[in-house]
């Protein structure tokens, strides 16, 4: 097998994957350039994903070794050469001849792509990489090494849940999730869709909490699944469907969906409103709004008006006191969705990764409140498990608006850490982590 080509392709794929998302596109580009095929391609693919999975663990060791605080301060070729070497030396069986080749190929690549000093450093440090110690020294280490998730995430989880639940949560988010579909009852019945899935030989279960949500086990090619193309089903998590059910918009009402794209909740609300009334679907991201338009078209809805603006400007654009309901499914760290988005494992690394969202979340809450008519209701929701984005924001809001009433949510999930709020948990409810707080504006006295 052509080990040299595999090493060069892997180095390039790792460098590209820092810039190109999804990472499989970066891999494809690099592997094509070096014409990897057959057994060597399979080997290199396994190595590539294995590195990405344990990236944070490997990077911690690189930081210890080089003395830099953050691995991203290192030259990119050196950084990725070290990552690749650690994976191959510590976690794969390669021959002594291959180890020698690895050292000289990567030193050469670093020399030609960056700086002779970096190459020299790599050459010197290479023999120690094989001896790096990955045995856990604490319970926290054990969880990080077993479940491949940032130390910060594990610490936050330990603050939220008792020890046995921390492990259950981490186990759950390492499982491959089923595909979750919601049936559009304007166009199809749940029975009909269930039957269509069974006919494909796939196992399907109804959600115990939302009767229109189905979980499909096995691989369902959605692009070839007719009910999907016809807008009879949408991909949606049970916890996402619960958001629209909790807000409960009625036919004929005016609704503002303040962070609407790609439109999962917009189309669900349109369905609950029987396509009567009005939904302003606001989102700052035009590209994502294009996806929303496609979803709305497939759902067959005519009451949705997409608006590409910063939601914080919505009261100026739409006017104050115009909405019966506001859906605020706020932009967040998405820390409740790691099972679906494995890339997040090493992206939530410290407190500032949370705090960067809090400002915009609070700004959007203020805007949503202005949009509401007296007596109107706003659902504040996130797919984050962190209190800073959830209960803390609601507590802040209630202090600022003592006239706001927090409507007590009593199901289908568990109470949140602030009385009246609600949380869905992956390990308890078999869905993404989600937070809900329903706020009501006082009627005019």
E-strand spans in 124-270? 179-183, 203-206, 213-217, 233-235, 254-257
Q: Which stretch binds ligand SAM (CB under 6 A): 59-67, 126-134, 189-197, 263-271?
A: 263-271
Q: Which is nearer to ligand SAM, 54 or 182 (CB)?
A: 182
265 binds ligand SAM (CB under 6 A): yes
Interface residue with ligand SAM among 56, 227, 264, 376 (CB under 6 A) is 264
Helix, strand or coil for residue 299? Answer: helix
Interface residue with ligand SAM among 249, 262, 368, 376 (CB under 6 A) is 262
User: What is d(CA 215, CA 370) in angstroms, rounded to the nearest whole number?
Assistant: 38
Interface residue with ligand SAM among 329, 389, 391, 430 (CB under 6 A) is 329
Interface residue with ligand SAM among 190, 284, 358, 398 (CB under 6 A) is 284
58 binds ligand SAM (CB under 6 A): no
Clarify whether 383 is annotated catalytic: yes
Whether the Cβ atoms of residue 392 and residue 342 lie closer than 8 Å to each other: no
Which pair of structure tokens corresponds to residue 64?
A: 């210890």
- Length, in residues, of the chain: 445
Interface residue with ligand SAM among 74, 86, 261, 385 (CB under 6 A) is 261
263 binds ligand SAM (CB under 6 A): yes
Q: In sequence order, what are the beta bridge partners of 423?
A: 414, 435
> Distance between alpha carbon 259 and the CA centroid of its chain, in Å?
16
User: Is the torsion defined by CA of 266, 272, 273, 274 positive or negative?
Assistant: positive
User: What is d(CA 407, CA 157) in angstroms, rounded to the nearest whole number?
Assistant: 27
338 binds ligand SAM (CB under 6 A): no
Q: Which stretch binds ligand SAM (CB under 6 A): 42-50, 198-206, 258-266, 397-405?
A: 258-266
Q: In sequence order, what are the beta bridge partners of 422?
A: 415, 436
| CA atoms in the 13 A half-sphere facing the CB of 161 | 21
Closest separation in Å from C-beta 375 to ligand SAM: 24
Interface residue with ligand SAM among 56, 270, 331, 336 (CB under 6 A) is 331
Q: Which is nearer to ligand SAM, 148 or 397 (CB)?
A: 397
Closest CA to 141 of 57, 64, 82, 58: 57
Q: Which is nearer to ligand SAM, 129 or 239 (CB)?
A: 239
Closest separation in Å from C-beta 312 to ligand SAM: 6
56 binds ligand SAM (CB under 6 A): no
Closest separation in Å from C-beta 281 to ligand SAM: 9
Interface residue with ligand SAM among 106, 259, 272, 301 (CB under 6 A) is 259
Whether the Cβ atoms of residue 269 and residue 291 lie closer than 8 Å to each other: no
> Distance between alpha carbon 130 and the CA centroid of its chain, in Å?
34
User: What is d(CA 184, CA 196) in angstroms, rounded to the nearest whole number?
Assistant: 14
**Among 57, 383, 385, 437, the one annotated catalytic:** 383
Which residue numbers are catalytic? 383
- Residue numbers of the site for ligand SAM (CB under 6 A)? 240, 259-265, 282-285, 288, 310-312, 329, 331, 360
């Amino acid at each position: 097998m052509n080990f040299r080509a595999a090493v060069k392709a892997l180095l390039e794929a790792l460098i590209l994957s820092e810039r190109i998302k999804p990472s499989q596109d970066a891999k494809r580009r690099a592997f094509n350039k070096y014409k990897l095929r057959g057994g060597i391609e399979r080997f290199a693919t396994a190595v590539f994903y294995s590195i990405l999975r344990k990236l944070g663990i490997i990077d911690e060791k690189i930081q210890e070794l080089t003395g830099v605080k953050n691995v991203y301060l290192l030259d990119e070729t050196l950084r990725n050469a070290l990552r690749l070497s650690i994976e191959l030396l510590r976690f794969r069986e390669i021959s002594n001849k291959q180890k020698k080749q690895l050292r000289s190929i990567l030193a050469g690549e670093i020399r030609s792509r960056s700086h002779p000093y970096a190459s020299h450093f790599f050459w010197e440090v290479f023999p120690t990489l094989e001896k790096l110690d990955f045995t856990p020294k604490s319970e926290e280490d054990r969880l990080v090494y077993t479940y491949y998730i940032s130390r910060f995430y594990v610490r936050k989880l330990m603050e939220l849940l008792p020890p046995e639940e921390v492990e259950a949560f981490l186990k759950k988010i390492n499982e491959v999730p089923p595909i979750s579909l919601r049936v559009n009852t304007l166009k199809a019945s749940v029975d009909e869709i269930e039957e269509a899935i069974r006919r494909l030989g796939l196992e399907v279960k109804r959600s115990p909490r939302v009767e229109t949500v189905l979980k499909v086990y096995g691989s369902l090619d959605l692009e070839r699944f007719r009910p999907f193309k016809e807008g009879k089903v949408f991909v949606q998590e049970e916890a996402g469907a619960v958001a629209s059910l909790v807000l409960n918009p009625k036919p004929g009402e005016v609704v503002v969906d303040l962070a609407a794209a790609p439109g999962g909740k917009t189309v669900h609300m349109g369905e609950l409103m029987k396509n009567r009334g009005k939904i302003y679907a606001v989102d700052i991201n035009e590209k994502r709004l294009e996806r929303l338009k496609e979803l709305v078209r497939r759902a067959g809805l005519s009451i949705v008006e997409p608006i590409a603006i910063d939601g914080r400007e919505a009261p100026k654009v739409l006017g104050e006191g115009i909405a019966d309901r506001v859906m605020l499914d706020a932009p967040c760290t998405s820390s409740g969705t790691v099972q679906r988005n494995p890339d997040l494992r090493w992206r939530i690394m410290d407190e500032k990764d949370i705090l960067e969202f809090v400002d915009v979340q609070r700004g959007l809450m203020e805007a949503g409140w202005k949009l509401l008519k007296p007596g109107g209701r706003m659902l504040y929701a996130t797919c984050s498990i962190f209190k800073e984005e959830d209960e803390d924001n609601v507590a802040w809001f209630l202090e600022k608006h003592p006239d706001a009433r927090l409507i007590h949510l009593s199901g289908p999930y568990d109470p949140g850490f602030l009385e009246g709020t609600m949380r869905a948990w992956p390990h308890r409810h078999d869905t993404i982590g989600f937070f809900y707080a329903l706020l009501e504006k006082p009627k005019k006295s």
